[in-house]
Structure 1
Amino acid sequence: MKFNFLTTNLTACTMKKIMVTGSIIMGLSGAHFVQSQTVAGKDYSSRSHVDKTFDMIGVNAFGQRFPAESFTYEDEITGKKVIALTTSRHHNSKIYQTHPQWTPDGKHIVFRSDRSGKGLAYAISMENHEIIQIASGEDGSSFHLGWKENHAYHFRNDSLIRLNLEALLEDSNAGQVANKSSYEKVIGILDQELHPNGMALDHDEESLYFSTRVIDGQSSIYEVDLATGKMTAVLTVPFRIGHLQANPYKAGEMMFCWETGGDAPQRIWFVSIDNNGQVTNRPLYDESDETWVTHEVFLDQDHIGFNVMGHLDRLQEGDNGIYSLNIRNNDLTFHGQQDWGGYWHTAGTRNLKWIVGDTFNGDLYLIKYGNPENTTLLTTGHRLTSKSPFSKEAHSHHSVSPDGKWLLFNSSLLTDSDIMLMPLLDE
């Protein structure tokens, strides 16, 4: 575009008015242009939010808002209503299934997206599906929401940060987001040799645990006192720790897995810390050589759910499918299996009435707890080309809302990766 500048009566710092061909009026203060978006005599400034519909600008701005992009449809097989919360060109995914997805008040879901140029955390309103960016810069996407307090914990470089999420969301709704630091508190500073790769918030929200790789294939778990920032080593194991998660219903308990990227010799491990600080670490669900366990989650205070894979011929010779385990007395309950490789992930309601499982082709099923004959297909086709767990399409990693009303999951039905929401039970 050819610019014709009228430079009469300019000072060194302020150009009060610039006339641009095409009738676009711009102001200059110091070295910054501010476009009023007046074209051919009409001011379009009030519609400046429209260009964020697909985030064409890619601005990485803390607290910024994006208009709702949700799309509601009926599953063509089941007829059930499904809400695609994200539909943009970007890669969107829910927080991993071991961690809380909803803020404690149930008003927002926190998810991950690259809509601002890199994977960051965002909150989406359950009421109107508007999206708010809650992380920026070097924050990353590994956020742990509070169980009771509307906070979010995350690491930035060597610091453990607590974000006052409630205040940020309120200010964003009011259109008056303050400086980022005003919502943050540095809880503690990590030693340089510690590189956290997992995080778990204790039920009482007095301690936070993180796992870290050490040396010679070992991993450790550390406890952070959230009042003082003091960090204490809890235990060390001779393998890689993955998917660290706290018991959401009881303090001093957590679960983690022996992470191999595939089949582990013994997948699930359970840690308890008594009132005297005594640490106990024991395996859960003793595995055989022909057992492949994956995707363990807490169902309630005393029960976990997990999947025993059946996608290989040799694995079908033994027990496989979705199971739950009473971690107090080791009672095991079977919840069924599907054809074509079987179930993959599991979730359930905290009242132990319902289990949800998915298959490799992206079908999700509702199972009556302990009664696999009572199984209902919920929604289909969320991994359209997949028949195995090793394709690039989205992994469901589904979660049930704390009130048992909603099912949240990842999907590749509309784009490469979206997050979707549907009622768990019919009205």
Structure 2
Amino acid sequence: MKPRYLAVAALLLCGVAHAGIGQRFPSERKVVKDPVTGTMLTFLTSKPHGDSKIYPTHPQWTSDGQWVVFRSKLAGGEALAVNEQTGDIVQVTEGGYTGMLNLARKSMKLYFMRNDATPKRLQIVEVDLGRLLADSAAGTLKPADAYQRIAGTTPAELQAGGDMALDADEEWVYFRVGPEEAARHLAPGTRIEPAFGPRKMGAGPNGIARMNLKTGEIRHVVSVPFQIGHIQANLYNPGEIVFCWETGGKSPQRTWTVLADGSGLRPLYPEAPYEWVTHEAVIGKDEVAMSIMGHRPVPGAGGGVSAPATGVDGANPGQDDGWGNTGTREKPTGLAIVNLRTRTMTIAGQTPSGSGLWHVHGSSDGRWAVGDDFSRSVYLIDRRNGNKMTMLTTGHKTTAADHPHPTFNADGTKIEIQSAMLSEDGRTMNICIIPVPKD
């Protein structure tokens, strides 16, 4: 082989060898002033790779508060971490993942599911982020198995998949199991719910199981006669789970809670037939934020609230027929906070017009709440100041591939969103950090 081709081959081999966990990418960090609100926005990514944040039901930052973990096509669909101060981007998985990324709050660990070599089985994988990020910075990377550990593998008969949540004790993870396994644990004669609504979703049964991350032991938690979605753990109270009845829209009873031993199953917020409840997120030891939507016009009324047209099919849900007389403002709507102990609900705020608040979150100290709306604007609510509401940022393009999904960091000083503000095609999203105003 000629020397020139040998050199090219060596470069290709080098590229392959380093195209794995721990590889680094140049900073894309940009600070942009919102032209409407004046808020200084820090874009941690700014190129059209197809980035998206972790869902608001789960932590976004590493336990040291320095790195934000996100999904991207930059490294072929592997998870990435970006340093908030330097903008350095590091690949933190190798071998792919499926479902939710779970960042530990007490340790520099990441947990996720990935497909096993045996069909219908899933591995639950632990990543030592502390060691990985240190070795990546030092240029002393080791093979992937030096950082990734298989905590256990789910049996094929569980039909495991979808959402996974890390318990506050960081010893157990919770995950969904399929209809056949769920049915084995239901009481005889239980009525199985059919599909609900125009999207033909919501049929059961489904269940939740848990795995011990040290031993790989699997235990069944609960079965229900409907489709389960958005499994999340209370990150401040071990052994407490919140999940939903997923229909793709309004549910007969959206929010549920149960304890890890299967006891205490109940509706989190018992909703009325006219209420459209969605996007619940545990925000503190005792509180869950959720949206009671006010996005639909009142049938037969001369005026009323309606969602803005976007020109993008399916960009804003709930505009199709078949949901009944729900999601209107004939009754109270807005960003709701439910107390897990007292079971009381309060409305923290609502926009005066438009779709109303949609994806919601809150700070763990009870001070702040945040929500987006169909226009992709983000609003901050000061719960200790008469629920004063302020628009933080707007102009994030309704044509974006997804919604902003605002989520607080652990100490309530920052909010992460995903945004197409910088996107030339109007769809590709980037990772953006919004500061919470000190005043």
TM-score, normalised to structure 1, is 0.83
Give the letter for the 1:425 counterpart.
P
Give the letter for the 1:137 counterpart.
G
C-alpha distance 227-344 of structure 1, shift in aligned 2 (>3 A): same
User: Match of 2:339?
Assistant: 326
User: Match of 2:230?
Assistant: 243
2:270 paired with 1:305:
no
User: Match of 1:414?
Assistant: 422
Q: Deviations over 1:301-329 (max 9, x none)?
A: 11111111111024111121101011111
C-alpha distance 186-137 of structure 1, shift in aligned 2 (>3 A): closer
2:70 paired with 1:108:
no
Structure with higher strand content: 1
Aligned positions of 1:58-73 closer than 5 A: 60-73=19-32
Please tell me whether the aligned partners of residues 93 and 111 of structure 1 are also in contact (alpha carbons under 8 angstroms): yes
C-alpha distance 263-372 of structure 1, shift in aligned 2 (>3 A): farther
In structure 2, which of residues 153, 156, 181 is the aligned counterpart of residue 189 of structure 1? 153
Tell me which stretches of 4 or more aligned residues in structure 1 moved more than 3 Å.
32-36, 370-373
Please tell me whether the aligned partners of residues 295 and 346 of structure 1 are also in contact (alpha carbons under 8 angstroms): yes
Residue 373 of structure 1 and its aligned partner are, at CA, apart by 5.3
Aligned positions of 1:171-320 closer than 5 A: 171-193=135-157, 194-215=159-180, 217-273=204-260, 277=261, 279-314=263-298, 315-320=328-333
Counterpart Cα distance in 1 of 2:273 and 2:161: 31
Residue 33 of structure 1 and its aligned partner are, at CA, apart by 3.4
Counterpart Cα distance in 2 of 1:353 and 1:33: 56
Residue 214 of structure 1 and its aligned partner are, at CA, apart by 1.9
Counterpart Cα distance in 2 of 1:87 and 1:348: 26
Residue 371 of structure 1 and its aligned partner are, at CA, apart by 5.2
2:412 paired with 1:404:
yes
Q: Deviations over 1:238-283 (max 9, x none)?
A: 111111000010111010010111111111001124xxx4522100
Q: Deviations over 1:75-97 (max 9, x none)?
A: 11111100111111211011000
User: Match of 1:170?
Assistant: 134
Counterpart Cα distance in 1 of 2:334 and 2:32: 30
In structure 1, which of residues 375, 386, 410 is the aligned counterpart of residue 389 of structure 2? 375
Q: Secondary structure at the match of 2:145?
A: helix
RMSD of aligned Cα (Å): 2.3
Q: Deviations over 1:98-129 (max 9, x none)?
A: 00111111111100001123x32100012201
Larger RCO (CA under 8 A, 6+ residues apart): 2
Q: Secondary structure at the match of 1:351?
A: coil
Please tell me whether the aligned partners of residues 335 and 370 of structure 1 are also in contact (alpha carbons under 8 angstroms): no
Q: Secondary structure at the match of 2:279?
A: strand
Counterpart Cα distance in 2 of 1:278 and 1:235: 5
C-alpha distance 139-35 of structure 1, shift in aligned 2 (>3 A): closer
2:96 paired with 1:138:
yes
Q: Secondary structure at the match of 2:130?
A: helix
Q: Secondary structure at the match of 1:397?
A: coil
Residue 34 of structure 1 and its aligned partner are, at CA, apart by 3.2
In structure 2, which of residues 2, 25, 40 is the aligned counterpart of residue 81 of structure 1? 40
C-alpha distance 141-116 of structure 1, shift in aligned 2 (>3 A): farther
Aligned positions of 1:5-84 closer than 5 A: 18=3, 27=7, 32-34=9-11, 60-84=19-43
Question: Identity of counterpart residues, as a percentage?
Answer: 37
Please tell me whether the aligned partners of residues 304 and 327 of structure 1 are also in contact (alpha carbons under 8 angstroms): yes
C-alpha distance 304-141 of structure 1, shift in aligned 2 (>3 A): closer
In structure 2, which of residues 395, 399, 403 is the aligned counterpart of residue 395 of structure 1? 403
Counterpart Cα distance in 2 of 1:164 and 1:373: 40
Q: Secondary structure at the match of 1:344?
A: coil
Residue 362 of structure 1 and its aligned partner are, at CA, apart by 1.5
Residue 291 of structure 1 and its aligned partner are, at CA, apart by 0.7
Residue 217 of structure 1 and its aligned partner are, at CA, apart by 2.6
**Structure with max Cα Rg:** 1
C-alpha distance 211-130 of structure 1, shift in aligned 2 (>3 A): same
Counterpart Cα distance in 2 of 1:418 and 1:404: 21
Q: Secondary structure at the match of 2:3?
A: strand
TM-score, normalised to structure 2, is 0.81
2:62 paired with 1:97:
no
Give structure 1 stretches of 5+ with no counterpart. 1-14, 21-25, 37-44, 49-56
Counterpart Cα distance in 2 of 1:182 and 1:222: 28
Counterpart Cα distance in 1 of 2:387 and 2:280: 23
Give the letter for the 1:334 counterpart.
I
Matched residue count: 375
Counterpart Cα distance in 1 of 2:363 and 2:381: 11
Give the letter for the 1:297 counterpart.
A
